[in-house]
Amino acid sequence: MGPETRERTEDGGFPRWRLARGAVVLPDERPPLGQVVVLALQHVVAMFGSTALAPLLMGFDPNLAILFSGIATLLFFVVVGGRVPSYLGSSFAFIAVVIAATGYGGSGPNPNLPVALGGIIAAGAVYAMIGIAVMRAGDAWIGRLMPPAVTGAIVGAIGLNLAPIGVKGISGSGLDVGIGLFTILAVGLAASYLPGSARRLPLLIGAVAATLLYGVLANGLGLAKPLDLARITQAPWFGWPHVTTPVFEASAIWLIAPVALVLVAENLGHVKAIGAMTGRNLDPYLGRAFLGDGLATMLSGAFGGTGVTTYAENMGVMAVTRIYSTLVFAVAGLVAILFGLSPKFGAAILVIPGPVIGGLSVVVFGLIAAAAGRIFVENRVDFSRTRVLLTVGTALVLGAGDFTVSLGSFKLGGIGTATAAAILLYHALRDDPA
Q: Answer yes or no: is 413 within a domain.
A: no
Q: Is 309 part of any domain?
A: yes
CA–CA separation, 11 and 15 (whole Å):
9
In a domain, residue 409? The reply is no
Per-residue pLDDT for the chain (434 aa), expressed as one digit of tens each?
Answer: 344 333 333 455 787 888 777 777 778 888 888 778 877 876 777 677 678 878 888 888 888 998 999 999 999 999 999 889 989 999 888 887 888 888 887 667 888 889 999 999 999 999 999 999 999 987 677 778 878 888 888 878 877 887 887 787 788 777 888 888 898 898 888 878 877 656 656 777 888 888 888 888 877 777 777 777 777 777 788 878 788 889 998 888 888 888 888 788 778 777 777 777 777 778 888 899 999 999 999 999 999 999 999 876 677 667 767 788 888 899 999 988 988 888 777 677 667 787 887 887 788 778 778 878 877 887 888 888 889 999 999 999 998 888 888 765 456 677 778 888 888 999 998 876 65
For 412, which DSSP code?
E
d(CA 80, CA 11): 10
Examine residue 107 and state whether it is found in any structural domain, yes or no.
yes
Assess contact for 267 and 289: CB atoms under 8 A. yes
Q: What is the pLDDT of residue 21?
A: 74
Q: Which structural domain, as residue segments, surrounds residue 67?
A: 25-375
Q: Is residue 433 part of a domain?
A: no
Give, in degrees to the nearest 5, the angle at Cα 311 between 38 and 103: 125
Question: Residue 129 CB: number of other CB atoms within 10 A?
Answer: 14
Measure the CA–CA gap between 46 and 317, rounded to whole angstroms. 8
Is residue 18, in this structure, part of any structural domain at all?
Answer: no
Give the 3-state DSSP-derived string for 1-64, with helices as H, strands as E and coil as C. CCHHHHHHHHCCCCCCCEECCCCCECCCEECCHHHHHHHHHHHHHHHHHHHHHHHHHHCCCHHH
- Alpha-carbon gap, residue 206 to 428, rounded angstroms: 45
Tally of structural domains, the chain = 1
Rounded to whole angstroms, the Cα distance separating 296 from 433 reads 45
Q: What is the pLDDT of residue 408?
A: 55
Alpha carbon dihedral 59, 214, 49, 368, in 10-degree steps, equals 80
Terminal alpha carbon distance of the chain:
51
Residue 388 lies in a domain: no
Q: What's the pLDDT at 396?
A: 92
Q: Which long-range contacts (CB under 8 A, 24 or more apart) does 277-281 make?
A: 277/315, 277/318, 277/319, 277/324, 278/26, 278/27, 278/85, 278/324, 280/26, 280/27
Question: Cβ contacts of residue 245 below 8 Å, gap of 6+?
Answer: 114, 117
Residue 386 lies in a domain: no
